[in-house]
Amino acid sequence: MKLGTFNHIALTVTNLARSQAFYDNLLGFMGYKQAEKTEDLILWANSHNGAVITISPSNPESLNKFHDRYSPGLHHLAFGADSRDDIDKLHKFLVEQGVEILDPPSEYEYMPGYYAVYFLDPDGIKLEVTYIPSW
């Protein structure tokens, strides 16, 4: 593992069962396997890249009931893809699952060939899957 490589992301969700169904589908599509489940945590791991994603329930007394990516904290989470075709296949899969798409697959001017799809998880967390040919 290289210094600075993504290791894990821990997300807090309002409804563990609803988010488990969403992330089981999404992460399963990307090659993650559920590795741990307790009443307070669900963990998926990707043996290909060593990355881990966890979800756990939010505090029901929290004032923030829906994620606002423009407040301090997480703006969005971006996953990589191996090709534009991966992005297009994922987009089709997300539409079939009824996921809210923010921006369909398109090329963006962030860097040459940057191709991405943007969508929301059940709590409004913005997710992206991108292909960058120069990386």
Average pLDDT over residues 101-118: 95
Other CB atoms within 10 A of residue 45 CB: 19
Region for 50 from its dihedrals, namely left if φ exceeds 0, alpha if ψ lies in -120 to 50, beta otherwise: left
At CA 10, angle to CA 38 and CA 60, rounded to 5? 70
Would 1-60 and 74-135 be classified into the same CATH topology? yes
Range 74-135 classified under CATH 3.10.180.10: yes
pLDDT at 74: 84
Domain ranges of the chain: 1-60, 74-135
pLDDT at 85: 97
**Cβ contacts of residue 16 below 8 Å, gap of 6+?**
42, 55, 56, 57
Round to whole Å and give the CA distance between 77 and 75.
7
CATH of region 1-60? 3.10.180.10
pLDDT at 69: 81
CB 99 within 8 A of CB 92: no
pLDDT at 94: 97
pLDDT digits (tens, 9 = 90+) for 4-24: 767 789 999 989 999 999 999
pLDDT at 134: 79
Place of tokens 């301090």: 72
pLDDT at 1 over 60: no
